[in-house]
Structure 1
Amino acid sequence: MKIAVAEINIGALLYNVEVVRKLAPTSKILAMIKANAYGHGYLEVAESLTNVDAFGVARLDEAIKLRDAGVKKSIVLLEGFFDKDELMIIAEKQLETVLHNKQQVIDFINADLPQPIKVWLKLDTGMHRIGLAPEEMASCYNQLTQHKNILATPTILTHLACADELEHPLNNQQINLFNQLCLDIEGERSIANSAAIMSLPETHLDWVRPGIMMYGASAMADSDAAEHDLKPVMTLKSSVIAVRDVPKGGSVGYGATWVAKQNTKIAVVAIGYGDGYPRNAGNGTPVLINSIEYPLVGRVSMDMITVDLGQSTEIKVGDEVILWGEGLPIERVARHANSIAYELLCGVTGRVTKQYKN
């Protein structure tokens, strides 16, 4: 009996990277493996991704773990460094860093580094999260070019706020501003995250940065992965641990939020928010048992969920349950939970056993 298992399909992962290659055949791939590779296991994913050019992480500790585990590919620190000690570690571990504010640029050019490092210079073209303001771009770029601490020419990047909404006017505004700012400077360029890779080919440029699409979920609003020829990498599974009769008018779960309209059977499944299954998944959220969909009913508990089987069923204790993945798109579950696939994947907790297959 499988209890709370995340089955990770490496073959599907590699397939999805090839989808990226087909969409952006002339671009290099900076594969996003931050947040424990979106819940899939950063080291196992990094060791499997031989068909990418570099890895992107958010935090220094993620990069250090990868290097110390023997990962040789380029590793880009997307949030950069936060003090001079971190900058020294970046140089010693031969990492690459994003610079996204003036203070980081100043600290970088004033540092006495043991060896030069590769730098990515991030611009804020309209998302207003992190990145140099447009008026800071030229001076920062000029300070960095040819500096003793820098290895090669900086790569220039920005991030789109609304790439998952194809018709949003901010997309063109950001793309046009980025192109304008980069018009007279050298260096490789990068705009495209997963959504832009899928929908905005003019953003592919020298580097693309796939994240969610690499793990087999759609980056586009209101579409599922299969519509984009992507295969789910994670299939979250568990098992039925009880089958109960519930009479008409009987309630199920905490708060008695669901009441049976007729005599029915309920399957109790060993998974809950303690495993990362979304607590706010509502009545009717699809659950797959023996390849048949059934609706979740009642509140999600820490360790269990309950599923309405109807009046007659062959479901029994020990039967396999799929919560999302092969046969059940994670996007559907996320919509029922008022969430997104990113959050569900990253939210899978440590007590869920990961099993890797090719």
Structure 2
Amino acid sequence: MPPSRKTRYRKSVIVPGATTRDAPQGGQMRSLSRFEINLAAISHNIRQVRSSLDPDVGICAVLKADAYGLGAVRIASQLNRSGVEMFAVYTPEQAQVVLRARLCAPVLVLAPVRESGPLEQLQGALAAGYVQLTLHDEQHVRELECIAGELHTPLAVHVEVDTGMSRGGITCPAAADVIRAVHDSPLLRLQGIYTHLASAGHDADFTMRQSERFDGLLRRAARWIPPDCVIHEANTFGLLRGRQHHRGMVRIGLLWAGYGPEEFAGRADTRVQDLRPVLRWMSRIVHVKEIPVGTNVGYGSIWQAQRPTRLALVPVGYA
């Protein structure tokens, strides 16, 4: 992960199509190390992902925690130009930041929002459907209706169904009744239904069981699901696991950043070729020395030279 903004080795990119989080005036280096963010690689990766999907499958770009520390506004702007159909963040505050990019696609808030206060600055975006909320449990239906009343606008919601992740979302037995309640509510609009795959990167059997549970719920609730409701299931590893998980939209974080397939355990039924890493950590050698056999190196002397060795010092810690 990138360093915090307080570290000394922040630095801008000096290559076409790239930038960094903190660009000093005049492009001069503040220290000896820098992170390089290649914005052009983001668009390339989205094209590669798109080519692996059926034409009617959308892409939701996940930008939690300030786009994983890379700068949500600039990353969202590039993804917006790349034509993604939705963005996902965790909190309303993160949604506010992402909306500064003047997006053409809606932003889904994944966290349970149970009070109107965090949404007051988003009232216009909520009314226009540019910010959509996740519904997590039975009580949440009533809470979101209260929020809609206080803000004087209906709310677009996605119902999260817990099929095995055991974190957020409504249990499968209760989910159909919640979907019906949203369908019947004059204050809520059902924009999506989704689940989150827990082990798609390494456990095909459990992933399939989750998908089958989700299918069962969708069948039970079919009469209350409008035609334009987006059904989504696959994260990055779910996308790679197979087309049966793609449904109406895939949610990707690692893939837009150029990572994922190399960590996938097992046979990838969906192949995403030629991804380009968006992030590169660059530094330089500042000191070289020769040491004899038996010399201890580093804190705790945890490494010892087994032969005459040339050492290079790279300033990538607290430098």
Common fold: TM-score over 0.5 = yes
Q: 1:190 aligns with which of 232, 236, 250?
A: 232
**CA distance in structure 2 between the aligned counterparts of 1:32 and 1:87, rounded to whole angstroms:** 20
Per the TM alignment, residue 71 of structure 1 is displaced from its structure 2 partner at its CA by 3.8
Q: 2:307 aligns with which of 262, 276, 282?
A: 262
Per the TM alignment, residue 221 of structure 1 is displaced from its structure 2 partner at its CA by 3.1
Give the alignment of 1:46-61 within 5 angstroms. 46-49=76-79, 50=81, 51-61=83-93
Per the TM alignment, residue 36 of structure 1 is displaced from its structure 2 partner at its CA by 2.1
Do the aligned partners of 1:246 and 1:266 also contact (CA within 8 Å) in 2?
yes
**CA distance in structure 2 between the aligned counterparts of 1:30 and 1:41, rounded to whole angstroms:** 17
Partner of 1:30: 60
- CA-to-aligned-CA distance 1:284-304 (integer Å, 9 cap, x gap): xxxxxxxxxxxxxxxxxx33x
**CA distance in structure 2 between the aligned counterparts of 1:9 and 1:148, rounded to whole angstroms:** 45
Do the aligned partners of 1:90 and 1:97 also contact (CA within 8 Å) in 2?
no
Q: Percent identity?
A: 27
Partner of 1:221: 264
**CA distance in structure 1 between the aligned counterparts of 2:164 and 2:65, rounded to whole angstroms:** 25
- CA-to-aligned-CA distance 1:257-282 (integer Å, 9 cap, x gap): 1111122211100102xxxxxxxxxx
Partner of 2:157: 119
Match of 2:159, SS state, is: strand
Do the aligned partners of 1:241 and 1:268 also contact (CA within 8 Å) in 2?
yes
Q: Is 1:149 the counterpart of 2:187 in the alignment?
A: yes
Partner of 2:245: 203
Do the aligned partners of 2:153 and 2:187 also contact (CA within 8 Å) in 1?
yes
Q: 1:104 aligns with which of 135, 140, 156?
A: 140
Task: Identify the structure with the greater helix proportion.
Answer: 2
Per the TM alignment, residue 247 of structure 1 is displaced from its structure 2 partner at its CA by 2.0
**CA distance in structure 2 between the aligned counterparts of 1:96 and 1:14, rounded to whole angstroms:** 25
Q: Which has the higher contact order (CA 8 A, sep 6+)?
A: 1
**What one-letter code is carried by the residue in structure 2 that aligns with 1:262?**
R
Partner of 1:333: none
Per the TM alignment, residue 146 of structure 1 is displaced from its structure 2 partner at its CA by 4.4
**What one-letter code is carried by the residue in structure 2 that aligns with 1:243?**
V
Do the aligned partners of 2:48 and 2:272 also contact (CA within 8 Å) in 1?
no
Give the alignment of 1:286-297 within 5 angstroms. none
**CA distance in structure 2 between the aligned counterparts of 1:72 and 1:114, rounded to whole angstroms:** 24
Return closer, same or farther for 1:69/1:203 CA change in 2, 3 Å cut-off: closer
Q: Is 1:247 the counterpart of 2:289 in the alignment?
A: no
Q: Give 4+ residue runs of structure 1 displaced > 6 Å after superposition.
A: none
Per the TM alignment, residue 39 of structure 1 is displaced from its structure 2 partner at its CA by 3.1
Q: 1:63 aligns with which of 74, 95, 98?
A: 95
Do the aligned partners of 1:216 and 1:231 also contact (CA within 8 Å) in 2?
yes
Partner of 1:231: 276
Q: Is 1:84 the counterpart of 2:116 in the alignment?
A: yes
Per the TM alignment, residue 88 of structure 1 is displaced from its structure 2 partner at its CA by 4.1
Per the TM alignment, residue 106 of structure 1 is displaced from its structure 2 partner at its CA by 1.7
**CA distance in structure 1 between the aligned counterparts of 2:45 and 2:313, rounded to whole angstroms:** 34
RMSD of equivalent CA atoms: 2.3
Normalising by structure 2, report the TM-score. 0.78
Normalising by structure 1, report the TM-score. 0.70
Q: Is 1:39 the counterpart of 2:75 in the alignment?
A: no
Question: Structure 1 regions of 5+ residues with no counterpart?
Answer: 273-301, 304-358
Per the TM alignment, residue 87 of structure 1 is displaced from its structure 2 partner at its CA by 4.3
Partner of 1:139: 177
Per the TM alignment, residue 141 of structure 1 is displaced from its structure 2 partner at its CA by 1.1
Q: Is 1:21 the counterpart of 2:73 in the alignment?
A: no
**CA distance in structure 2 between the aligned counterparts of 1:258 and 1:237, rounded to whole angstroms:** 24
Per the TM alignment, residue 82 of structure 1 is displaced from its structure 2 partner at its CA by 3.9
- CA-to-aligned-CA distance 1:133-189 (integer Å, 9 cap, x gap): 1121122111111423224x3310001111112x53211111111011111242320
Per the TM alignment, residue 228 of structure 1 is displaced from its structure 2 partner at its CA by 4.1
**What one-letter code is carried by the residue in structure 2 that aligns with 1:221?**
F
Do the aligned partners of 2:163 and 2:210 also contact (CA within 8 Å) in 1?
yes
Do the aligned partners of 2:204 and 2:241 also contact (CA within 8 Å) in 1?
no
